[in-house]
Amino acid sequence: MTTRSPIATALVCGALLVAGTGLTACGGKKDKEASAKTAAAAQARTVSIGSVETRPLGGGVEASGLLVSREEAAVGSELTGYRVARLYADEGDWVRAGQPLVQLDDTLLRAQVEQQAAVTAQAQAEAARVSGLDGQGILSQEQIETRRYQAKAQEAALKELRTRAARMTITSPVSGRVLSRGVQPGQIAGGGTTPWFTIARDGLVELDAEVNEADLAGIREGQAAQVSLPGGQSISGVVRLISPRVDSGSRLGKVRVRLPVRPDLRPGGFGRATFGASGAAVTAIPESAIRYEADGLFVMTVDGDNRAHMVGVKVGRKGGGWAQLVQGPPAGTRIVLGGASFVTDGDVVRPAPASAQQAAR
């Protein structure tokens, strides 16, 4: 059995005490760091986020407006009192001209058509029997004319029922995309003013931009326009129509911009157009992201951990709320808009996507 001296025993105990203290300190440090990160995330400021983009710049005219259908077709029924048996289309569907949309219950009408066909055949037979008897005295002329009239009246009644039967199937008058549906199975036709279906012809959507009266002279039909959507998409369009009148109250004129057929273009949405922008595409940032300091220009970039970093930039020409980035972060980098002056280097932020008008403000 080995026996340690009192000095050796004291040294061992001291070493164990130091090691335990170190472990405790290390664990405490990690807990403090985790708590600090949690607290920082909880106190993060919500900021509007844009990005460095590659886009053309130029001194073009800017105008905002709503996305609208170029032409809408309202579909309903001219008949009343018939129950909706089946629906063949719904909102968002693409339909073609002549495609069935609604089928009305024609059970009773078919029976009426058969009955009227029999009555008409009988009346036609009665009229045929008096053919050639005019002026012979066998029947009075009044009786002869009455039979002929009854035959024509029954033929007209049969034609009306057959026309009604042909309209029991409601078809689409145009090809396009169904924007709304206002009919339900089992509904009784007639009495309402709401269209059963609203269809955007050929799915064409345009920007109905409102342009200042002074800027209308610089816009022409056929001119290219760049349209920005709230989601950040940029779409190339062409001016199709310039309104011949200006609103006397707002002093704004309407300009219709034709856009390509795309599923993300929804009537009622917002868009912003730039007319007359020129030049090659350059790396650019929204002017609202630029931070002016005593020692130069800066932007606040946001990394993958949502932490802000102050980065110096140099800008060139400006246009449409954007500035050419001569020196700075690459395209695609997230940057803080508007409220960058309230964010300091190293802050954790809570990103919120900016709308198109915020980005260009």
State residue 16's pLDDT score. Answer: 45
- Residues forming beta bridges with residue 212, ordered by sequence position: 252
**Check: CATH 3.40.50.80 for 61-70+204-275?**
no
Examine the pLDDT at 64 and tell me if it is beyond 80. yes
Question: What six digits make up the tokens of 292?
Answer: 């002016």
pLDDT number for residue 38: 52
Model confidence band, residue 13 (pLDDT cutoffs 50, 70, 90): very low
Q: What is the pLDDT of residue 137?
A: 62
pLDDT of residue 1: 45
* 306 vs 345: CA distance, rounded Å: 12
Alpha helices (H) in the chain, listed in sequence order: 6-42, 107-129, 141-166, 356-359
pLDDT at 278: 57
Q: What's the pLDDT at 277?
A: 60
pLDDT band at 24 (very low <50, low <70, confident <90, very high): very low
The helix or strand, by DSSP H or E, that contains position 201, with its residue range, turns out to be strand 197-201
pLDDT of residue 355: 55
Structural tokens at position 211: 């342009």
Q: How confident is the model at residue 323 (pLDDT cuts 50, 70, 90)?
A: confident
Under the banding of pLDDT at 50, 70 and 90, the label for residue 190 is confident
Distance CA(246)–CA(312), nearest Å, equals 45
- How do residues 204-238 score in pLDDT, each as one tens digit? 999 999 999 888 887 889 999 989 998 888 899 99
Partners of 325 in the β-ladder: 315
The span from the first CA to the last CA of the chain, in angstroms, equals: 86
pLDDT at 349 over 80: yes
Confidence of residue 33 (pLDDT cuts 50, 70, 90): low
> pLDDT value at position 215?
85
CATH 3.50.50.60 describes domain 74-105+168-203? no
Residue type, 76: G
Most confident of the ranges 27-36, 309-318, 338-347: 309-318
What are 89-140's pLDDT values in tens digits? 999 999 999 999 999 999 999 999 999 999 999 999 888 877 766 656 667 7
pLDDT at 23 over 50: no
Tens digits of residue pLDDT in 271-313: 999 887 656 678 999 988 999 888 999 999 999 999 999 999 9
Q: Residue ranges of the domains in the chain? A: 45-58+280-359, 61-70+204-275, 74-105+168-203, 106-167
Average pLDDT for the chain: 84
The sheet with strand 84-87 has its strands ordered as 84-87, 100-104, 169-171
Specify the pLDDT at position 12. 45
User: What pLDDT shows up at residue 180?
Assistant: 95
Q: Which two tokens stand for residue 165?
A: 């039967």
Q: How far apart are CA 263 and CA 227, in angstroms?
A: 15
The 10s digit of each residue's pLDDT in 144-159 is: 788 889 999 999 999 9
> Do 282 and 292 contact (CB within 8 A), yes or no?
no
CATH topology of domain 45-58+280-359: 2.40.420
Higher pLDDT, 59 or 280: 280
Cβ-based neighbours of 281, under 8 Å, separated by 6 or more: 54, 55, 56
Q: Which two tokens stand for residue 267?
A: 């009537």
